[in-house]
């Protein structure tokens, strides 16, 4: 982790008001109940440290993608019950993130109090990184804490610009843990180092795959993107997902892996289906032999076995992206098998990092979140960090 950045342990919050950027962009059901509270739980240690010191906390976050101004379905008031439960305090709520009410509530906070501001993205200025808007937020607190790794790759008002207004700016526990764990994989991985790349599109992962070819010993590719590789290598993929304009690139990546002595593993077989539906007619097909009218929606039994062997022989594992359409029970076996292999590798002493987004959702769905080394809360942020990009939200914390 960047040594110039201070973390919350370096600060005594007694008598101070901490303006804390958290990532409470959590999923809600149709009755506005939180269906996955991972991100809320992840922020708790930082908030409790500030309160224990004798400070007060002002929480700011976004939720969803409101189009134009306030929408009730994106109101952060829906998460208060969950927040009260996890923090074991009664959280105050400001119906706006700036303006008189927010200002008065922030001013009247006592040590041990927690105030949650309304959704930052109800203002277009948040995503534009507007300086005046950031200045209004900054007036609410004495110290700035960023614990929102999931949005650290965005140069928004609350993630990077607001920090300019503070002398005291620090990373929360979650932010520092995310950076340390990513560094462990990128800077000094124990070998063999295996990266597992899944998901639908090569285009989302090109930069990362390219970067990883300089670092890994093994690269496993599954998910929808594997069919573009299969087609490029002359196979039949039926109606499977294809990025036709990326076929040449797929072949280049395979060639590059060879040149760098990286073992690249593509699925040898697929679970196929007549339609993109859980109850459609299903079959299995060898690599490059998927008939017309069928589509590959998961890796097959041979691939599961082979991939698991590679993972089990590894000392460092990075996993980003599912092996198939794991949201449907008929096509979850591949992703589940990978999750089980990653857990087994962890038990054998490997360091295993799950790269946010769908991989984190899968690991949590199968109940393995506690059985791997670290589950990242930031899909896009972790990808950009791994690609070697500077994250605006992290850079803003430098003195």
Pair 188, 214: CB distance under 8 Å: no
Range 14-25 burial, b when 16+ CB lie within 10 A, else e? eebbbbbbbbbb
Phi, psi angle pair for 338, to nearest 5°: -65, -45
To the nearest 10 degrees (0 to 180), the angle between helices 379-386 and 173-186 is 40
Q: Per-residue DSSP letters for 77-140?
A: GGGHHHHHHHHTS--EEESSSSSHHHHHHHHTPPTT-EEEE--GGGSHHHHHT-HHHHHHHHTT
> Catalytic residue among 55, 129, 222, 357, which?
357
Question: CA nearest 394: which of 137, 75, 180, 241?
Answer: 180
> Catalytic residue among 16, 17, 39, 246, which?
39
Q: Quick check: is 65 catalytic?
A: no
Q: Quick check: is 395 catalytic?
A: no
> Catalytic residue among 54, 288, 369, 380, which?
380
Kindly report the number of other CB atoms within 10 A of residue 31's CB atom.
6
Q: Quick check: is 367 catalytic?
A: no
Pair 396, 145: CB distance under 8 Å: no
Phi, psi angle pair for 316, to nearest 5°: -135, 135
DSSP designation for 193: E
Pair 290, 272: CB distance under 8 Å: yes
Q: What token pair was written down for 83?
A: 């927040």
Q: Quick check: is 260 catalytic?
A: no
Angstrom CA distances, 90 to 35, 85, 138, 245, stand at 21, 9, 23, 54
Pair 230, 287: CB distance under 8 Å: yes
Q: Per-residue DSSP letters for 269-293?
A: EEEEESSSSTTS-EEEEETTEEPTT
> Catalytic residue among 48, 184, 201, 256, which?
201
Active site residues: 39, 201, 357, 380
């Amino acid at each position: 982790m960047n040594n110039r950045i201070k973390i919350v342990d370096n600060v005594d919050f007694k008598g101070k008001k901490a303006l804390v950027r958290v990532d409470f962009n959590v999923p809600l059901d149709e009755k506005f109940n939180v269906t996955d509270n991972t991100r809320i739980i992840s922020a708790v240690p930082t908030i409790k440290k500030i309160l224990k010191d004798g400070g007060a906390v002002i929480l700011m976050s976004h939720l969803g993608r409101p189009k134009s101004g306030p929408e009730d379905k994106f109101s952060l008031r829906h998460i208060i019950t969950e927040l009260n439960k996890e923090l074991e305090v009664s959280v105050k709520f400001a119906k706006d993130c700036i303006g008189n009410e927010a200002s008065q509530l922030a001013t009247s906070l006592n040590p041990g109090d927690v105030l949650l501001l309304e959704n930052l993205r109800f203002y277009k200025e948040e995503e534009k990184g507007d300086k005046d808007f950031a200045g209004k937020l900054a007036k609410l607190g004495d110290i700035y804490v960023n614990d929102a790794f999931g949005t650290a790759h965005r140069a928004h008002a609350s993630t990077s610009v607001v920090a300019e207004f503070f002398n005291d700016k620090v990373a929360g526990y979650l932010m520092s843990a995310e950076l340390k764990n990513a560094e462990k994989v990128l800077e000094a991985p124990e070998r063999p180092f295996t990266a597992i790349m899944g998901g639908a599109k090569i285009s989302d992962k090109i930069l990362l795959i390219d970067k990883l070819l300089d670092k890994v010993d093994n690269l496993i590719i599954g998910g929808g993107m594997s069919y573009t590789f299969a087609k490029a290598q002359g196979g039949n993929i039926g109606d499977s997902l294809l990025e036709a304009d990326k076929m040449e690139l797929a072949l280049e990546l395979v060639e590059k892996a060879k040149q760098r002595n990286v073992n690249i593993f593509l699925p040898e077989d697929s679970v196929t289906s007549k339609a993109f539906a859980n109850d459609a007619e299903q079959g299995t097909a060898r690599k490059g032999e998927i008939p017309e009218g069928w589509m590959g929606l998961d890796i097959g039994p041979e691939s599961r076995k082979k991939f698991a062997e590679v993972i089990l022989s590894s000392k460092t594992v990075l996993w980003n992206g599912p092996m198939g359409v794991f949201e449907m029970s008929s096509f979850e076996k591949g992703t589940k098998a990978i999750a089980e292999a990653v857990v087994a590798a962890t038990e054998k002493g490997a360091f295993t990092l799950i790269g946010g987004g769908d991989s984190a959702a899968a690991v949590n769905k199968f109940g393995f979140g506690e059985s791997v080394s670290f589950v990242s809360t930031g899909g896009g942020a972790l990808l950009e960090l791994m690609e070697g990009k500077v994250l605006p939200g992290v850079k803003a914390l430098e003195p």
